A and B are shown apart, each in its own frame.
Chain A
Amino acid sequence: MNAAQPSPAVPHTWSPRIVAFFCNWCTYTAADLAGVSRMKYAPSVRVVRLMCSGRLDPQFILDALAHGADGVLIGGCHPGDCHYADGNTKMLRRFRMLRRLLAQLGYDELRVRLEWISAAEGDRVRAVVNEMTEQIRALGPLNLPGRFAEWDLELSRAETEPRTATTSAKEVSHAQT
Protein backbone atom coordinates (compact mmCIF):
# COMPACT_ATOMS: atom_id res chain seq x y z
CA MET A 1 0.00 0.00 0.00
CA ASN A 2 2.91 2.28 0.48
CA ALA A 3 5.24 1.16 -2.25
CA ALA A 4 5.17 4.76 -3.38
CA GLN A 5 6.21 6.27 -0.09
CA PRO A 6 7.22 9.88 -0.41
CA SER A 7 10.92 9.57 -0.99
CA PRO A 8 11.77 12.58 -3.08
CA ALA A 9 14.79 11.94 -5.24
CA VAL A 10 16.45 8.91 -3.73
CA PRO A 11 20.13 9.86 -3.69
CA HIS A 12 22.08 7.51 -5.94
CA THR A 13 24.52 6.95 -3.12
CA TRP A 14 21.77 5.49 -0.94
CA SER A 15 21.90 1.86 -0.01
CA PRO A 16 19.76 0.11 2.60
CA ARG A 17 20.81 0.32 6.22
CA ILE A 18 19.47 -2.53 8.31
CA VAL A 19 19.90 -2.78 12.05
CA ALA A 20 20.06 -6.44 13.03
CA PHE A 21 19.45 -7.67 16.56
CA PHE A 22 20.90 -11.19 16.83
CA CYS A 23 20.78 -13.43 19.87
CA ASN A 24 24.10 -14.52 21.30
CA TRP A 25 23.45 -18.25 21.20
CA CYS A 26 22.09 -18.86 17.73
CA THR A 27 21.87 -16.14 15.12
CA TYR A 28 24.93 -14.17 16.19
CA THR A 29 26.93 -17.39 16.20
CA ALA A 30 25.50 -18.15 12.76
CA ALA A 31 26.67 -14.74 11.55
CA ASP A 32 30.09 -15.56 12.99
CA LEU A 33 30.03 -18.84 11.12
CA ALA A 34 29.15 -17.03 7.92
CA GLY A 35 32.14 -14.81 8.57
CA VAL A 36 34.70 -17.52 9.25
CA SER A 37 33.29 -19.47 6.30
CA ARG A 38 34.08 -16.40 4.19
CA MET A 39 30.54 -16.17 2.89
CA LYS A 40 29.87 -12.91 1.14
CA TYR A 41 26.68 -10.99 1.79
CA ALA A 42 25.38 -7.46 1.46
CA PRO A 43 27.20 -4.97 3.72
CA SER A 44 23.87 -3.47 4.75
CA VAL A 45 23.47 -4.87 8.26
CA ARG A 46 24.72 -3.38 11.50
CA VAL A 47 24.55 -6.26 13.95
CA VAL A 48 23.76 -5.70 17.61
CA ARG A 49 24.35 -8.76 19.76
CA LEU A 50 21.80 -9.44 22.46
CA MET A 51 21.90 -12.32 24.89
CA CYS A 52 18.44 -13.36 23.71
CA SER A 53 15.85 -12.20 21.21
CA GLY A 54 13.56 -12.00 24.25
CA ARG A 55 15.73 -9.11 25.45
CA LEU A 56 14.73 -7.06 22.46
CA ASP A 57 12.58 -4.26 23.79
CA PRO A 58 10.25 -3.09 20.98
CA GLN A 59 11.52 0.40 21.81
CA PHE A 60 14.90 -0.61 20.33
CA ILE A 61 13.22 -1.39 17.02
CA LEU A 62 11.31 1.88 16.86
CA ASP A 63 14.38 3.78 18.00
CA ALA A 64 16.48 2.24 15.24
CA LEU A 65 13.89 3.32 12.67
CA ALA A 66 13.63 6.78 14.21
CA HIS A 67 17.41 7.15 13.95
CA GLY A 68 17.57 6.33 10.28
CA ALA A 69 17.47 2.56 9.85
CA ASP A 70 15.64 1.49 6.70
CA GLY A 71 14.77 -1.85 8.23
CA VAL A 72 15.24 -3.99 11.32
CA LEU A 73 16.13 -7.67 11.27
CA ILE A 74 15.65 -9.79 14.37
CA GLY A 75 17.34 -13.16 14.68
CA GLY A 76 16.66 -15.73 17.37
CA CYS A 77 16.89 -19.44 18.07
CA HIS A 78 14.39 -21.81 16.53
CA PRO A 79 11.25 -22.44 18.62
CA GLY A 80 12.10 -24.85 21.40
CA ASP A 81 15.83 -24.12 21.14
CA CYS A 82 15.99 -20.91 23.18
CA HIS A 83 18.91 -20.90 25.59
CA TYR A 84 16.57 -19.36 28.15
CA ALA A 85 13.67 -21.68 27.32
CA ASP A 86 11.12 -19.06 26.27
CA GLY A 87 12.76 -15.80 25.19
CA ASN A 88 12.21 -16.34 21.48
CA THR A 89 8.53 -17.10 22.09
CA LYS A 90 8.19 -13.80 23.90
CA MET A 91 9.82 -12.07 20.93
CA LEU A 92 7.47 -13.84 18.53
CA ARG A 93 4.41 -12.62 20.44
CA ARG A 94 5.70 -9.08 20.57
CA PHE A 95 6.61 -9.23 16.90
CA ARG A 96 3.10 -10.31 15.88
CA MET A 97 1.68 -7.26 17.64
CA LEU A 98 4.42 -4.94 16.43
CA ARG A 99 3.56 -5.85 12.84
CA ARG A 100 -0.02 -4.76 13.40
CA LEU A 101 1.08 -1.55 15.08
CA LEU A 102 3.53 -0.66 12.32
CA ALA A 103 0.98 -1.46 9.62
CA GLN A 104 -1.48 0.89 11.32
CA LEU A 105 1.19 3.60 11.21
CA GLY A 106 1.83 3.09 7.51
CA TYR A 107 5.01 0.99 7.56
CA ASP A 108 5.50 -1.74 4.97
CA GLU A 109 5.65 -5.13 6.68
CA LEU A 110 8.94 -5.94 4.94
CA ARG A 111 10.78 -3.32 6.98
CA VAL A 112 10.82 -5.38 10.17
CA ARG A 113 11.55 -9.07 9.92
CA LEU A 114 11.91 -11.92 12.41
CA GLU A 115 13.92 -15.02 11.52
CA TRP A 116 14.86 -18.13 13.45
CA ILE A 117 18.46 -18.97 12.54
CA SER A 118 20.41 -21.61 14.45
CA ALA A 119 24.14 -21.46 15.14
CA ALA A 120 24.76 -23.90 12.29
CA GLU A 121 22.91 -21.88 9.67
CA GLY A 122 25.55 -19.43 8.50
CA ASP A 123 24.26 -19.68 4.98
CA ARG A 124 20.78 -18.73 6.18
CA VAL A 125 22.20 -15.44 7.56
CA ARG A 126 23.68 -14.73 4.16
CA ALA A 127 20.44 -15.55 2.33
CA VAL A 128 18.19 -13.59 4.69
CA VAL A 129 20.39 -10.50 4.72
CA ASN A 130 20.69 -10.52 0.95
CA GLU A 131 16.97 -10.99 0.44
CA MET A 132 15.98 -8.34 2.94
CA THR A 133 18.50 -5.90 1.49
CA GLU A 134 16.94 -6.26 -1.95
CA GLN A 135 13.42 -5.92 -0.58
CA ILE A 136 14.34 -2.73 1.23
CA ARG A 137 16.17 -1.41 -1.77
CA ALA A 138 12.93 -1.83 -3.71
CA LEU A 139 10.95 -0.01 -1.00
CA GLY A 140 13.40 2.89 -0.93
CA PRO A 141 14.77 4.85 2.00
CA LEU A 142 12.64 5.16 5.12
CA ASN A 143 14.63 8.19 6.25
CA LEU A 144 12.63 9.02 9.38
CA PRO A 145 15.13 11.67 10.56
CA GLY A 146 14.70 13.39 7.21
CA ARG A 147 10.92 13.12 7.44
CA PHE A 148 10.92 14.53 10.96
CA ALA A 149 12.89 17.53 9.71
CA GLU A 150 10.61 17.91 6.70
CA TRP A 151 7.47 17.76 8.86
CA ASP A 152 8.88 20.46 11.09
CA LEU A 153 9.45 22.88 8.23
CA GLU A 154 5.90 24.11 8.87
CA LEU A 155 6.98 25.39 12.28
CA SER A 156 7.92 29.03 12.23
CA ARG A 157 11.36 28.44 13.65
CA ALA A 158 13.37 25.25 13.67
CA GLU A 159 13.92 25.39 17.39
CA THR A 160 12.92 21.80 17.85
CA GLU A 161 14.98 19.95 20.39
CA PRO A 162 14.37 16.27 20.02
CA ARG A 163 14.20 14.61 23.38
CA THR A 164 16.38 11.80 22.12
CA ALA A 165 19.29 14.23 22.06
CA THR A 166 18.96 15.02 25.75
CA THR A 167 18.55 11.35 26.52
CA SER A 168 21.81 10.43 24.88
CA ALA A 169 23.63 13.28 26.62
CA LYS A 170 22.32 11.95 29.90
CA GLU A 171 23.32 8.44 28.99
CA VAL A 172 26.83 9.57 28.15
CA SER A 173 27.30 11.36 31.45
CA HIS A 174 25.82 8.35 33.25
CA ALA A 175 28.24 6.02 31.52
CA GLN A 176 31.17 8.23 32.47
CA THR A 177 30.41 8.24 36.18
Chain B
Amino acid sequence: MPRPKVAFYWCASCGGCEETVVDLAEDILGVVEKVEIAFWPVALDFKKADVERLPDGALAASFINGAIRTGEQEEMARLLRRKSLLVFAYGACAQLGGIPALANQYSREEILSFVYEEAPTVDNPSRTRPAVVSRDNGVDLHLPAFHGQVRPLCQVIDVDYTIPGCPPTPNLTREAVAALLEGRLPPKGTVLAPDTALCESCPRKDSKPSDLSFTRFRRPHQVLADSALCLLAQGIVCMGPATRGGCGAQCIAGNMPCTGCFGPTSRVRDQGAKMLSSLCANLASREVEEIDAVLDGLPDPVGTLYRYGLAGGLLRRRIDTSANT
Protein backbone atom coordinates (compact mmCIF):
# COMPACT_ATOMS: atom_id res chain seq x y z
CA MET B 1 0.00 0.00 0.00
CA PRO B 2 1.44 3.40 -0.90
CA ARG B 3 2.38 5.57 2.03
CA PRO B 4 0.26 8.72 2.47
CA LYS B 5 1.95 11.82 1.13
CA VAL B 6 2.49 14.82 3.40
CA ALA B 7 3.89 18.30 2.84
CA PHE B 8 5.50 20.84 5.15
CA TYR B 9 5.66 24.50 4.25
CA TRP B 10 6.54 27.77 5.95
CA CYS B 11 5.10 31.19 5.38
CA ALA B 12 5.68 34.28 7.57
CA SER B 13 7.50 32.65 10.46
CA CYS B 14 10.93 32.42 12.05
CA GLY B 15 11.74 28.78 11.25
CA GLY B 16 11.22 27.55 14.79
CA CYS B 17 8.28 25.42 13.68
CA GLU B 18 10.46 23.62 11.15
CA GLU B 19 12.93 23.11 13.97
CA THR B 20 10.27 21.32 16.00
CA VAL B 21 9.80 18.76 13.25
CA VAL B 22 13.53 18.12 13.43
CA ASP B 23 13.23 18.03 17.24
CA LEU B 24 11.23 14.83 16.84
CA ALA B 25 14.80 13.47 16.69
CA GLU B 26 14.90 9.73 16.00
CA ASP B 27 11.10 9.60 16.18
CA ILE B 28 11.08 11.24 12.79
CA LEU B 29 12.36 7.95 11.36
CA GLY B 30 9.12 6.31 12.47
CA VAL B 31 7.17 9.06 10.77
CA VAL B 32 9.19 8.81 7.57
CA GLU B 33 8.55 5.05 7.50
CA LYS B 34 4.81 5.63 7.49
CA VAL B 35 4.48 8.69 5.27
CA GLU B 36 6.06 9.91 2.10
CA ILE B 37 7.29 13.48 2.37
CA ALA B 38 6.24 15.03 -0.92
CA PHE B 39 7.29 18.61 -0.22
CA TRP B 40 9.48 20.17 2.48
CA PRO B 41 11.50 23.03 1.01
CA VAL B 42 13.43 23.79 4.18
CA ALA B 43 14.94 20.30 4.36
CA LEU B 44 14.54 18.52 1.03
CA ASP B 45 14.98 19.55 -2.56
CA PHE B 46 11.48 19.94 -3.93
CA LYS B 47 10.16 22.65 -6.20
CA LYS B 48 6.77 24.22 -6.51
CA ALA B 49 6.34 22.39 -9.82
CA ASP B 50 6.54 19.07 -7.95
CA VAL B 51 3.43 20.07 -6.02
CA GLU B 52 1.68 21.45 -9.08
CA ARG B 53 2.17 18.14 -10.89
CA LEU B 54 0.28 16.23 -8.19
CA PRO B 55 -3.41 15.59 -8.79
CA ASP B 56 -5.73 17.62 -6.56
CA GLY B 57 -6.17 15.95 -3.18
CA ALA B 58 -3.07 13.78 -3.67
CA LEU B 59 -1.55 14.90 -0.38
CA ALA B 60 -3.02 13.33 2.73
CA ALA B 61 -2.04 16.37 4.75
CA SER B 62 -0.13 19.63 4.59
CA PHE B 63 1.42 21.14 7.69
CA ILE B 64 1.68 24.87 7.07
CA ASN B 65 3.43 27.10 9.57
CA GLY B 66 3.67 30.88 9.49
CA ALA B 67 1.20 33.67 8.87
CA ILE B 68 0.27 35.03 5.45
CA ARG B 69 1.93 38.35 4.63
CA THR B 70 2.94 38.09 0.97
CA GLY B 71 1.33 37.09 -2.28
CA GLU B 72 3.74 34.16 -2.57
CA GLN B 73 2.69 32.77 0.80
CA GLU B 74 -0.95 33.15 -0.16
CA GLU B 75 -0.38 31.40 -3.48
CA MET B 76 1.47 28.49 -1.87
CA ALA B 77 -1.20 28.15 0.83
CA ARG B 78 -3.91 27.97 -1.84
CA LEU B 79 -1.92 25.50 -3.90
CA LEU B 80 -1.34 23.21 -0.92
CA ARG B 81 -5.00 23.52 0.07
CA ARG B 82 -6.02 22.30 -3.38
CA LYS B 83 -3.59 19.39 -3.31
CA SER B 84 -4.34 18.31 0.28
CA LEU B 85 -7.15 16.38 1.88
CA LEU B 86 -6.30 17.99 5.22
CA VAL B 87 -4.52 21.21 6.10
CA PHE B 88 -2.96 21.64 9.53
CA ALA B 89 -2.20 25.18 10.71
CA TYR B 90 1.06 24.53 12.47
CA GLY B 91 2.17 26.93 15.18
CA ALA B 92 1.08 30.28 16.57
CA CYS B 93 1.68 32.32 13.40
CA ALA B 94 -0.49 30.07 11.26
CA GLN B 95 -3.10 29.85 14.00
CA LEU B 96 -3.45 33.52 15.05
CA GLY B 97 -0.84 35.56 13.18
CA GLY B 98 1.84 35.16 15.82
CA ILE B 99 4.66 37.61 16.42
CA PRO B 100 4.62 38.81 12.76
CA ALA B 101 1.05 40.01 13.32
CA LEU B 102 2.27 42.66 15.76
CA ALA B 103 3.09 44.50 12.53
CA ASN B 104 -0.68 44.90 12.13
CA GLN B 105 -0.25 47.95 14.36
CA TYR B 106 1.38 49.68 11.39
CA SER B 107 0.36 50.34 7.83
CA ARG B 108 2.15 48.85 4.88
CA GLU B 109 3.54 52.31 4.08
CA GLU B 110 4.86 52.83 7.62
CA ILE B 111 6.63 49.48 7.52
CA LEU B 112 8.19 49.94 4.09
CA SER B 113 9.31 53.51 4.69
CA PHE B 114 10.94 52.57 8.00
CA VAL B 115 12.62 49.40 6.83
CA TYR B 116 13.90 50.75 3.51
CA GLU B 117 14.43 54.44 4.28
CA GLU B 118 14.29 55.62 7.87
CA ALA B 119 15.88 52.87 9.97
CA PRO B 120 19.19 54.16 11.38
CA THR B 121 21.16 51.33 9.82
CA VAL B 122 19.78 51.85 6.32
CA ASP B 123 21.83 53.56 3.62
CA ASN B 124 19.48 53.93 0.68
CA PRO B 125 19.82 57.42 -0.84
CA SER B 126 17.89 56.45 -3.98
CA ARG B 127 15.02 55.26 -1.76
CA THR B 128 14.80 51.99 -3.60
CA ARG B 129 12.02 49.73 -2.42
CA PRO B 130 11.10 46.23 -3.43
CA ALA B 131 8.54 46.28 -6.22
CA VAL B 132 6.33 43.53 -7.58
CA VAL B 133 7.88 44.13 -10.99
CA SER B 134 11.15 45.92 -11.66
CA ARG B 135 13.18 46.15 -14.86
CA ASP B 136 16.87 45.39 -14.86
CA ASN B 137 18.94 45.16 -18.05
CA GLY B 138 15.78 44.82 -20.08
CA VAL B 139 14.51 41.93 -17.98
CA ASP B 140 11.39 42.04 -15.80
CA LEU B 141 12.13 40.84 -12.29
CA HIS B 142 9.27 39.74 -10.07
CA LEU B 143 8.87 39.77 -6.29
CA PRO B 144 5.86 38.65 -4.28
CA ALA B 145 3.39 41.37 -3.31
CA PHE B 146 3.67 42.62 0.27
CA HIS B 147 0.12 42.57 1.62
CA GLY B 148 -1.40 45.35 3.73
CA GLN B 149 -1.58 43.17 6.81
CA VAL B 150 -0.64 39.84 8.35
CA ARG B 151 -3.33 37.14 8.38
CA PRO B 152 -3.64 33.81 10.11
CA LEU B 153 -3.96 30.89 7.72
CA CYS B 154 -7.69 30.46 8.39
CA GLN B 155 -8.40 33.95 7.01
CA VAL B 156 -6.96 32.88 3.67
CA ILE B 157 -7.74 29.18 3.19
CA ASP B 158 -9.93 26.61 4.87
CA VAL B 159 -8.02 24.99 7.74
CA ASP B 160 -8.90 21.55 9.10
CA TYR B 161 -6.82 21.36 12.29
CA THR B 162 -4.56 23.55 14.34
CA ILE B 163 -1.45 22.57 16.25
CA PRO B 164 -0.71 25.51 18.56
CA GLY B 165 2.49 26.86 20.02
CA CYS B 166 5.54 28.96 19.37
CA PRO B 167 6.72 26.48 18.39
CA PRO B 168 4.43 23.46 18.89
CA THR B 169 6.06 20.92 21.15
CA PRO B 170 7.42 17.65 19.72
CA ASN B 171 4.86 15.80 21.86
CA LEU B 172 1.89 17.59 20.28
CA THR B 173 3.39 17.12 16.83
CA ARG B 174 3.97 13.42 17.40
CA GLU B 175 0.45 12.99 18.73
CA ALA B 176 -1.09 14.86 15.79
CA VAL B 177 0.80 12.76 13.23
CA ALA B 178 -0.20 9.59 15.08
CA ALA B 179 -3.85 10.65 15.11
CA LEU B 180 -3.65 11.34 11.39
CA LEU B 181 -2.04 7.98 10.56
CA GLU B 182 -4.34 5.99 12.82
CA GLY B 183 -7.47 7.76 11.55
CA ARG B 184 -8.54 9.02 14.96
CA LEU B 185 -8.61 12.76 14.33
CA PRO B 186 -11.29 14.70 16.24
CA PRO B 187 -13.94 16.80 14.45
CA LYS B 188 -12.73 19.34 11.92
CA GLY B 189 -11.66 22.65 13.40
CA THR B 190 -10.23 21.19 16.58
CA VAL B 191 -7.07 22.62 18.10
CA LEU B 192 -4.95 19.56 18.80
CA ALA B 193 -4.00 20.32 22.40
CA PRO B 194 -5.72 20.07 25.80
CA ASP B 195 -8.74 22.38 26.08
CA THR B 196 -7.95 23.80 29.51
CA ALA B 197 -6.09 26.93 30.56
CA LEU B 198 -2.41 26.66 31.30
CA CYS B 199 -3.05 27.48 35.01
CA GLU B 200 -4.77 24.08 35.30
CA SER B 201 -1.52 22.28 34.58
CA CYS B 202 0.82 24.82 36.14
CA PRO B 203 3.17 23.43 38.79
CA ARG B 204 2.64 26.65 40.77
CA LYS B 205 -1.16 26.38 40.66
CA ASP B 206 -1.52 25.88 44.40
CA SER B 207 0.23 29.16 45.14
CA LYS B 208 -2.21 31.20 43.02
CA PRO B 209 -4.33 33.25 45.42
CA SER B 210 -8.09 33.33 44.78
CA ASP B 211 -7.93 37.12 44.99
CA LEU B 212 -4.89 38.51 43.22
CA SER B 213 -5.45 42.19 44.14
CA PHE B 214 -2.79 43.74 41.92
CA THR B 215 -1.34 46.93 43.34
CA ARG B 216 1.33 47.15 40.63
CA PHE B 217 2.52 45.25 37.60
CA ARG B 218 6.14 44.31 37.24
CA ARG B 219 7.81 43.24 34.05
CA PRO B 220 10.11 40.23 34.09
CA HIS B 221 13.29 42.31 33.79
CA GLN B 222 12.34 44.47 36.76
CA VAL B 223 12.22 41.75 39.37
CA LEU B 224 13.95 38.58 40.45
CA ALA B 225 10.95 36.28 40.47
CA ASP B 226 10.38 33.74 43.24
CA SER B 227 10.64 30.43 41.41
CA ALA B 228 8.02 28.66 43.52
CA LEU B 229 5.26 31.27 43.69
CA CYS B 230 2.53 31.98 41.10
CA LEU B 231 3.91 34.71 38.85
CA LEU B 232 0.63 36.64 38.89
CA ALA B 233 0.85 36.71 42.69
CA GLN B 234 4.17 38.48 42.19
CA GLY B 235 2.59 41.12 39.94
CA ILE B 236 4.11 39.67 36.79
CA VAL B 237 1.68 39.38 33.87
CA CYS B 238 1.45 35.67 33.10
CA MET B 239 -0.99 34.82 30.31
CA GLY B 240 -1.74 31.42 31.85
CA PRO B 241 -5.38 32.15 32.76
CA ALA B 242 -6.28 32.98 29.13
CA THR B 243 -3.98 30.56 27.35
CA ARG B 244 -4.47 26.95 26.35
CA GLY B 245 -2.28 24.43 28.15
CA GLY B 246 -0.40 21.54 26.60
CA CYS B 247 3.03 23.13 26.40
CA GLY B 248 4.27 21.48 29.56
CA ALA B 249 4.55 24.91 31.23
CA GLN B 250 8.12 25.19 29.99
CA CYS B 251 8.33 28.97 30.36
CA ILE B 252 7.12 28.69 33.96
CA ALA B 253 9.78 26.05 34.57
CA GLY B 254 12.29 28.62 33.33
CA ASN B 255 10.79 31.13 35.80
CA MET B 256 9.38 33.23 32.98
CA PRO B 257 5.71 34.13 32.57
CA CYS B 258 3.50 32.62 29.89
CA THR B 259 3.23 35.01 26.95
CA GLY B 260 0.24 33.25 25.42
CA CYS B 261 1.62 31.39 22.40
CA PHE B 262 -0.88 28.50 22.60
CA GLY B 263 -3.78 30.85 21.96
CA PRO B 264 -7.12 30.69 23.75
CA THR B 265 -9.19 27.65 24.69
CA SER B 266 -12.21 26.74 22.57
CA ARG B 267 -14.57 28.77 24.78
CA VAL B 268 -12.73 32.00 24.15
CA ARG B 269 -12.81 33.87 20.84
CA ASP B 270 -10.38 36.68 21.63
CA GLN B 271 -7.47 35.85 23.89
CA GLY B 272 -6.35 39.42 24.54
CA ALA B 273 -9.80 40.65 25.55
CA LYS B 274 -10.25 37.67 27.84
CA MET B 275 -6.90 38.24 29.50
CA LEU B 276 -7.69 41.92 29.88
CA SER B 277 -10.90 40.89 31.61
CA SER B 278 -9.20 38.54 34.02
CA LEU B 279 -6.21 40.73 34.75
CA CYS B 280 -7.91 44.07 35.23
CA ALA B 281 -10.89 42.84 37.23
CA ASN B 282 -8.32 41.81 39.84
CA LEU B 283 -6.80 45.22 40.39
CA ALA B 284 -6.97 46.27 44.03
CA SER B 285 -7.86 49.92 43.40
CA ARG B 286 -11.38 51.30 43.12
CA GLU B 287 -10.57 54.85 42.02
CA VAL B 288 -9.92 55.87 38.44
CA GLU B 289 -6.61 57.63 39.19
CA GLU B 290 -5.25 54.69 41.17
CA ILE B 291 -6.41 52.21 38.54
CA ASP B 292 -4.72 54.24 35.82
CA ALA B 293 -1.49 54.39 37.82
CA VAL B 294 -1.42 50.59 38.13
CA LEU B 295 -2.22 50.18 34.42
CA ASP B 296 0.76 52.41 33.59
CA GLY B 297 2.79 49.34 34.57
CA LEU B 298 1.60 47.75 31.33
CA PRO B 299 2.92 50.24 28.79
CA ASP B 300 2.12 48.13 25.73
CA PRO B 301 -1.36 46.57 26.04
CA VAL B 302 -1.42 45.17 22.50
CA GLY B 303 2.06 43.68 22.76
CA THR B 304 1.25 42.11 26.12
CA LEU B 305 -2.29 40.87 25.55
CA TYR B 306 -2.03 40.09 21.83
CA ARG B 307 1.59 39.06 21.51
CA TYR B 308 0.57 36.19 19.24
CA GLY B 309 -3.11 36.84 18.64
CA LEU B 310 -3.65 40.25 17.06
CA ALA B 311 -4.42 39.17 13.49
CA GLY B 312 -6.64 36.32 14.67
CA GLY B 313 -8.37 38.46 17.30
CA LEU B 314 -11.73 40.15 16.82
CA LEU B 315 -10.24 43.45 15.61
CA ARG B 316 -7.40 42.04 13.47
CA ARG B 317 -5.33 45.23 13.18
CA ARG B 318 -5.07 48.94 13.88
CA ILE B 319 -7.71 50.84 11.93
CA ASP B 320 -6.60 54.42 11.54
CA THR B 321 -4.03 53.56 8.93
CA SER B 322 -5.26 53.23 5.40
CA ALA B 323 -5.05 49.52 5.02
CA ASN B 324 -3.51 48.78 1.69
CA THR B 325 -1.27 51.68 0.87
Cβ–Cβ contact A155 & B74, under 8 A? yes
Shortest distance between the CB of A64 and any CB in chain B (Å) = 9
Q: How far is the CA of A161 from the CA of B112 in the complex (A)?
A: 29
Cβ–Cβ contact B319 & A96, under 8 A? no
Q: Is B174 on the interface with A (CB-CB < 8 A)?
A: no
Nearest neighbor of B302 in chain A, beta-carbon distance: A104
A100-122, CB < 8 A from B: 100-101, 104-107
Q: Is B14 on the interface with A (CB-CB < 8 A)?
A: no
A68-99, CB < 8 A from B: 79, 89-90, 92-94, 96-98
Q: Is A37 on the interface with B (CB-CB < 8 A)?
A: no
Shortest distance between the CB of A38 and any CB in chain B (Å) = 35
Instruction: Give the residues in chain A near B154, CB-CB below 8 Å.
Output: 161, 163
A129-177, CB < 8 A from B: 144, 147-148, 150-157, 159-164, 166-167
Q: Is B315 on the interface with A (CB-CB < 8 A)?
A: yes
Q: A59-B274, A96-B295, A97-B276 are in contact. Are A105 and B324 (CB under 8 A)?
A: no
Cβ–Cβ contact B323 & A147, under 8 A? yes
Cβ–Cβ contact B324 & A106, under 8 A? no
Q: Is B269 on the interface with A (CB-CB < 8 A)?
A: yes
Q: How far is the CA of A44 from the CA of B208 in the complex (A)?
A: 44
Nearest neighbor of B320 in chain A, beta-carbon distance: A106
**B26-34, B195-203, B247-255, B279-287 - interface stretch:** B279-287
Shortest distance between the CB of B109 and any CB in chain A (Å) = 13
Nearest neighbor of A143 in chain B, beta-carbon distance: B319
Instruction: Give the residues in chain B near A107, CB-CB below 8 Å.
Output: 319-320
Nearest neighbor of A80 in chain B, beta-carbon distance: B286
Nearest neighbor of B270 in chain A, beta-carbon distance: A59
Q: How far is the CA of A1 from the CA of B321 in the complex (A)?
A: 11
Q: Is B318 on the interface with A (CB-CB < 8 A)?
A: yes
Q: Is B218 on the interface with A (CB-CB < 8 A)?
A: no
Q: How far is the CA of A6 from the CA of B324 in the complex (A)?
A: 12
Cβ–Cβ contact A155 & B156, under 8 A? yes
Q: Which of A54, A79, A161 has the largest number of chain B CB atoms within 10 A?
A: A161
Instruction: Give the residues in chain A near B295, CB-CB below 8 Å.
Output: 96-97, 100
Q: Is B4 on the interface with A (CB-CB < 8 A)?
A: no
Cβ–Cβ contact B280 & A105, under 8 A? no
Contact with A along B53-87 (1 / 0, CB 8 A): 00000000000000000010011001000000000
Q: How far is the CA of A98 from the CA of B301 in the complex (A)?
A: 9
Nearest neighbor of B323 in chain A, beta-carbon distance: A151
Pick the contact of B273 from A58, A96, A156, A167 — CB < 8 Å?
Answer: A58
Instruction: Give the residues in chain A near B273, CB-CB below 8 Å.
Output: 57-59, 61-62
Nearest neighbor of B188 in chain A, beta-carbon distance: A166
Q: Is A13 on the interface with B (CB-CB < 8 A)?
A: no
Instruction: Give the residues in chain A near B227, CB-CB below 8 Å.
Output: none
Cβ–Cβ contact B314 & A62, under 8 A? yes
Q: Is B6 on the interface with A (CB-CB < 8 A)?
A: no
Pick the contact of A93 from B155, B274, B280 — CB < 8 Å?
Answer: B280
Cβ–Cβ contact A96 & B157, under 8 A? no
Q: How far is the CA of A57 from the CA of B318 in the complex (A)?
A: 21
Shortest distance between the CB of B105 and any CB in chain A (Å) = 7
Cβ–Cβ contact B315 & A105, under 8 A? yes
Q: How far is the CA of A154 from the CA of B149 in the complex (A)?
A: 10
Pick the contact of A57 from B155, B156, B274, B285 — CB < 8 Å?
Answer: B274
Can you pick out 24 interface pairs between chain A and chain B where the beta carbons lie within 8 Å of each other? A1-B320, A2-B319, A5-B319, A6-B322, A57-B274, A58-B276, A58-B277, A59-B314, A62-B314, A63-B269, A63-B270, A65-B315, A90-B280, A90-B281, A92-B288, A92-B291, A97-B298, A101-B276, A105-B315, A106-B321, A107-B320, A155-B147, A160-B156, A162-B155
Contact residues of A with B, CB < 8 Å? Answer: 1-2, 5-6, 54, 57-59, 61-63, 65-66, 79, 89-90, 92-94, 96-98, 100-101, 104-107, 144, 147-148, 150-157, 159-164, 166-167
The 3 closest A-B pairs by CB, nearest first: A106-B320, A2-B320, A62-B314
Q: List 8 extra interface pairs beyond A96-B295, A151-B316, CB under 8 A.
A: A90-B280, A94-B281, A96-B291, A105-B317, A151-B149, A154-B145, A161-B154, A162-B155
